[in-house]
A and B are shown apart, each in its own frame.
Chain A
Amino acid sequence: MNDRFTAIASEARERWEAARAGGREQINLCLDTSSLARGGAETLAALRDAISAKGLNADVTTTGSWGFCWLEPTLSVRSAAGTRTVLYHSVTPDRVEEFVQTVLVEAGELPELALGVVEGAPSDQIAPLEDHPYMRGQIRRLMANCGQIDPENIDHALANGAYEGFVQALDMEAEAIIELMLESGLGGRGGGGFPAGRKWDFLRNATADPRYLVCNADEGDPGAWVNRILMEGDPHLIIEGMLISALATHAVEGYIYIRHEYPLAIERMNIAVEQARERGLLGEDILGSGKTFDLVVFTGAGSYVCGEETGLINSIDGYRGMPRIRPPFPAQAGLWNLPTNVNNVETYANAPLVLRHGAEGWSSVSTDEAKGTKMFTISGAVNQAGCIEIPFGLSVRDLLETYGGGTPGGVALKGYQPGGPLSGVLPAEEADLPLTLGPYRERGMFLGSGGIVFFDETTSVVDLCTYFLGFAEDESCGRCTTCFQGTQRAVEILRRIANGGGRETDLGKLEDLIQTMIWSNCLHGQFAPTTVKLALRYFREEFEILIREKRDPTRSLPGMITYEITSPGDPALAEAAAICPTEAIVDEGARHGIVDELCIRCGACAEVAPNAVTVRDRFV
């Protein structure tokens, strides 16, 4: 063990324990981006005000997320005696007063808002948190500290095991670290699943210096926020992972490339890097080991292809973020044409856990071919949009039912997208597939980075195709004709179909496009048509009905419907007429009608006058 580290860690632990042993109630309020969107900052201010106004003996600390995103703001209360901690949800600003009164002033509990008992004995009214349906089956290793520590205070991280894996690795040869990673079976979490150990070995064997590490925190897949949860909840785990990788590869500098849409993650990573540097965990002669490694937090500026590793490298280098032509690979010529290794946030974050649990202990949580745990975010047609960590291998349906809380309003599931706009879509009949790499590869798609999006029977698959192809078109870097023109052409054809102008030959045209887009330089162009490819395989009938019968079975495509007033005397129509942005609803002497040429199919009228406005097929 490293003496310097032992001293640093024990001082940190003393401070952490002293703060908790103060005979004061400890409130840990989750303040991540989701909580902020749901009033977390106002809850924090209201809590602090109430505590000081009433002169209460309580401290408020802010933490990352437990993953109950749809129930934010969540907060835990640890009793002054330190014997019991209860986690609560939905402590919105308007609930703070009641909360403070009941929980802090009267020392009671609020079972109706409780998620569970985190530590201490459960009661009749509040069960252990681990028995909560959303927590059951989760194995929290990456997320172990999320929600429980202040991510802006390195003492909290150090008191909870941070950097112990790195210190272990300090005593190991580079080869041995790589051997351990290979043995664990840790695969890349950014979408490809490539063995991390092998990638590190490429860099270790590089012939030029200096060499670099890049942490890909661009998380461009809309609907994925697993990397955000880690950066906002436990940034030191990522730094520690990069330090371990640096030991294994002899890299001296690292970049953490974070998308600009994540300002809080950027702030917290910066604070963590600064604090790690202050404690001698980054910089020169780390912990007296003679090793040098430092980190730069780099902010992106809005580009999906910058998540592609060579686009990202160009972006840091100061050029347009266009993916490069490979070879050379980053391990040969990356940042400034020097050897570079790129991994996803979650890949690096697993490295300390492999050291802590051992290769076998780390991988044995999963009986699947893919080892370890994986974080997933769940969104779309679900009742519970949140973030979880589970071993690979759970079925998609179980994930939807157990963690996503099923589809809203009892509408049947139609399908899902496993991970990102390039990953493809599958129908509900394929929801029994396990969440792992193989089955998706076999279907010509991929599992992706963890953002699973569900859609129900109200959604048109043609609309989904138009949307994802449109996204790929917007984000194409413009290098390959097959990509930028291919996506453009595909969107034109899809729009035509969606507007009732589809032709018999259109599906063949789309299939041709899929074939030529494969020739694109990078995976963006190659995988851009995956959604269409799978939709044509699994939902072909929907395209055919649109083309042949000029009918949209979901009655959701704007080009395929009209809005009609079917109860002209309904009093709600006055409000509908007032809200209509194009003044398409006219008052024909106490009876209302819709001028179809003005109607933009936004549906505002149907929202405010649901009993008076009916959606009809436009062409049949």
Chain B
Amino acid sequence: MAAEPTTRELRDLVAEYEFERGHLLPALIEIQERYGYVSREAMEVLARQMRTTPALVYGAVSFYADFRTEPPPEREIAWCSGPACRLRGGDRIREALQYTLGIPLDGQSEDGAYGLRLGQCNGTCSEAPQVWLDGEVVGHLTVAKAVAIARDVRGEGDA
């Protein structure tokens, strides 16, 4: 995951994409997979490639929850917002995570070391309540376990 892509790199990356063929989303996904986020410049480059305006590209980026416009944090807890998790104390887990990390949902620490994100149920509800820690399911959580994980992500405590 390179930090700052060059204009040339971006242009090469999206060179094959065409708006008329439904390529806006695939192009944005590819940009994000490569760089971790979609920068302002990436939106401009993509708009030129698609022969449209940055406003339209931004419109799509801002519509979808998955796109980031800032580099992702080094470590991330994604909190499952689904019903099975909610019914088993998921909301209390969210509250505890926010306080322990000192950031809101979909926020990240100022130094970019860690973040907290809203996750959607993907049907691993047998594990409820759960979070994804750096992409891996941690299930059958208690609030206490969630606090320990959050402290560990912050680099404190001994979870």
Contacts and interface: CB of A to CB of B under 8 A. Distances in A.
Interface of A: 33-34, 36-38, 69-70, 72, 220, 222-225, 228-229, 255, 259-262, 296, 298-303, 315-322, 335-336, 377, 379-381, 384-386, 417, 421, 453, 455, 459, 463, 467, 471, 477, 558, 579, 581-582, 600-604, 607-608
Contacts of A72: 126
Interface stretch (B3-11, B69-77, B107-115, B136-144): B136-144
Given A70-B126, A301-B67, A581-B99, A604 B144 contact: yes
Contacts of B20: 336
A303 B91 CA distance: 21
Contacts of A459: 87
Given A223-B84, A318-B24, A453-B87, 7 more contacts: A34-B123, A38-B127, A225-B123, A302-B65, A302-B66, A318-B22, A558-B95
Most buried by B among A223, A225, A558: A223
Contacts of B137: 36-37
A607 B130 CA distance: 16
Contact of A222 (B28, B82, B91): B82
A34 B126 contact: yes
Nearest to A221: B121
A581 to B, nearest CB: 4
The 6 residue pairs across chains A and B that have the minimum distance between CB atoms: A225-B123, A302-B65, A318-B24, A301-B64, A302-B66, A379-B125
B128 interface: yes
Contacts of B144: 579, 604, 607-608
Interface in B79-135: 81-84, 86-87, 89, 91-93, 95-96, 99-100, 119-128, 130
Interface in B15-30: 19-20, 22-26, 28-29
B122 A301 contact: no
A560 to B, nearest CB: 14
A380 B26 CA distance: 34
Contact of B28 (A228, A301, A386, A608): A301
A479 B56 CA distance: 16
Interface residues of B, number: 51
A300 B139 CA distance: 25
Contacts of B139: 37-38
Contact of B121 (A70, A222, A315, A581): A222
Contacts of A579: 144, 147-148
29 contacts: A33-B124, A37-B139, A69-B123, A222-B82, A225-B123, A260-B29, A260-B66, A262-B122, A299-B26, A300-B64, A318-B19, A318-B23, A318-B50, A320-B59, A321-B63, A336-B20, A379-B84, A380-B83, A385-B84, A386-B126, A471-B81, A477-B63, A579-B147, A581-B99, A600-B95, A600-B96, A603-B89, A604-B143, A607-B143
Contacts of B126: 34, 37-38, 69-70, 72, 379, 384-386
A261 B143 contact: no
Nearest to B148: A579
Contacts of A386: 126
Most buried by A among B93, B96, B100: B96
B60 interface: yes
